[in-house]
Structure 1
Amino acid sequence: MSGSNLELWKATYDAETQDQLNDAYKLWCTDYDRDCVQGMGYVGPMTACRMLDTYLESPESRVLDAGCGTGLVGQVLSKHGYGRVDAMDISKDMLQVAKEKDVYNKFFQADMSEPLEVLNDDTYDASICVGTFTYKHVGPEAFNELIRVTKPGGYVCFTIRDGAYQEYGYRKRMHELEADNQWELLEMAKQDYLIKEGVTAKFCVYRVGNC
C-alpha cells in the first residue's frame, strides 16, 4: 500500500465525524479493494459469507449487505450463487464502486448509526455486515436495526474487529439482545481478518427471534 493510501486507511479509524469518515472513503474508494485484499490480506468477506451460507437454505434467499463498502461481500455471495442481494452504505462513492461489480439488486445510502428508515421491517432472510463494527465506524446500536429488517427466524451475520470488540460495548449489547429474546447466538469464532496485518475479528451468526 502506498504511503498516501496508508494514511487514508488510518484516517478511517481516526475520524471523529461521519463527514470525516466519508471524506476518507471518497478518496480511498478506487484503491480500496487492492489495498485491503492484496495489500493487507483482507479475508473477512470470504469467511463471513462461508459462515452465512451454511445456515441459509437457498441461494434464493434475500440478503442485505449492510455497510457494503465497495461490494466485496456481494462478490463473494454472487460466487456462492446468491442473486437477491441489496447493498447499503453511508458512502455514495463506495456505493458507486459497488454498483460497478453488478452483483446487487438495490442500493441504499444510509447511516447505520441512525434508524434505517429506507428499509421496512422483516424484509430480508439474512443481513450480513462485514468490516463495519470497528473503530470509529458503527456502534452496537445498529444491531437493533439489523434485527428489525431481518425476518423472524432469519440470520444476522457480522464481524467485529478485535480490540473494538473489547472497547466499544458490542458484547454487552449482544448479551442484552439475547436476554430479551431478540436473537439467539448460533456461532461465534475468532478468525483471521487482515492476515498480513496480524489482525483478527469475531465472526458471529445469530438467528432472529419472534418477538
Structure 2
Amino acid sequence: MSSGDHPRTFEMARDVIRSAHNNGSAEDLMLFYDRWAPNYEQDVDLIEYRAPRLVAAQVAAHFGGERQAAMVLDVACGTGMHAGVAQMKREGFQRFVGVDGSERMLQHARQSGLYQDLQMAVLGEQPIPVPSGAFDVVTISGGLSSSHVPAKAIRELLRAAKRGGLVCMSTRANRDNVAYKVALEGEMKKMEDEGLWRRVEVTRVSRFERGVSDHEGGHVPGCVYLFQKL
C-alpha cells in the first residue's frame, strides 16, 4: 500500500480532490498530480470514480471497426491502472497511447504495461505530441473541468482522431461544474455546426462519483459524450 501502514479513507481522498481545484497554474496542477500519484488509485476507488468505465463502455457500444488493430489515444491517462483501459482491453482493444502532464503519473502508467507508448503534455497548454488523424478512438475520462482543461482544448482531441474515428469525453454535471459544462457543450455544438464532427450519443449518469463538496451528499451526476469525426 502506497501510504504505508495507514490505509486511505474517503475523507483523505475527498480533501485531496478538493485541493486539486485550487491550483492556480498548469505547473502547480502538475506538481499536485506528481505528489498525488502514489495514492491516486486508492483515492479514485474511494470516491467511486466511474468515468473511465463509462467512457470505455460507450466506445465499445459504438465502435464498428477491427478492435485489435484500432489505435486508442487516452488523454489525461493518469497512472493508467484505472479500470477504463483494462475494460477496453477486455472489449478487444489492444493498442493504446497515453498522454498526461504529470511525470509521476506516467511512471506508474509505464509500470502498468497497458500502453505501447506514453507521452507527456498538458492539454490546453501545448499540443498533444501525436500525429494528426492517427487514432481510431480518442478518450478523455478525467480532466474536463475549469481548473484543468479549457473547453476549446477539445479541438485538439479531434485533431488526433482519424476521419470516422470516435472521440469520447466525460465531465461532472454537478453545481460546481455547471458553468464549465455549459461552455464545454457550447464548444461541442460549435464544432458540430462547423461540420467537424457529429454527435453519436450523450448519456447523463446519476452516479458519476461520490460528492466531495460540503453541499454535496451521496453521488454527483455526470455526462458522457461521444462524437464521430467527419
Is the TM-score greater than 0.5?
yes
- SS of residue matched to 1:144: helix
Aligned to 1:145: 156
**Are residues 1:26 and 2:34 paired?**
yes
**Are residues 1:11 and 2:25 paired?**
no
Aligned to 1:52: 59
Alpha-carbon distance, 1:76 to partner: 2.3
8 Å CA contact retained: 1:115, 1:145:
no
Alpha-carbon distance, 1:5 to partner: 4.4
Alpha-carbon distance, 1:195 to partner: 4.3
Cα distance in 2 for residues equivalent to 1:43 and 1:3? 18
Runs (5+) with no aligned partner, structure 2: 1-8, 212-217
Counterpart of 1:184 (choices 172, 181, 198) is 198
Aligned to 1:194: 209
Aligned to 1:40: 47
**Are residues 1:171 and 2:185 paired?**
yes
Counterpart of 2:229 (choices 192, 208, 211) is 208
Alpha-carbon displacement from aligned partner over 1:27-49 (angstroms, at most 9, x marks no partner): 21111111111x11111111110
Alpha-carbon displacement from aligned partner over 1:16-63 (angstroms, at most 9, x marks no partner): 1112211221121111111111x1111111111011011222322110
Cα distance in 2 for residues equivalent to 1:117 and 1:185? 23
Structure 1 runs (4+) greater than 4 angstroms displaced? 2-5
Aligned to 1:70: 79
Cα distance in 1 for residues equivalent to 2:194 and 2:98? 28
Residue type matched to 1:14 in 2? N
Aligned to 1:91: 102
Alpha-carbon displacement from aligned partner over 1:137-180 (angstroms, at most 9, x marks no partner): 11212111111110011000010111465312101111100000
Alpha-carbon distance, 1:189 to partner: 1.0
- SS of residue matched to 2:66: coil
8 Å CA contact retained: 2:128, 2:156:
no
8 Å CA contact retained: 1:69, 1:94:
yes
Alpha-carbon displacement from aligned partner over 1:109-158 (angstroms, at most 9, x marks no partner): 00110342521110000100001102401121211111111001100001
The 1:27–1:5 alpha-carbon spacing in structure 2 relative to 1, beyond 3 Å, is: farther
Number of residue-to-residue matches in the alignment = 208
8 Å CA contact retained: 1:165, 1:171:
no
**Which has more radius of gyration?**
2
Residue type matched to 1:167 in 2? A
Residue type matched to 1:171 in 2? E
Cα distance in 2 for residues equivalent to 1:59 and 1:2? 36
Aligned Cα root-mean-square deviation (Å) = 1.7
Of 76-85 and 118-127, deviating more is 76-85
Aligned to 2:127: 116
- SS of residue matched to 2:124: coil
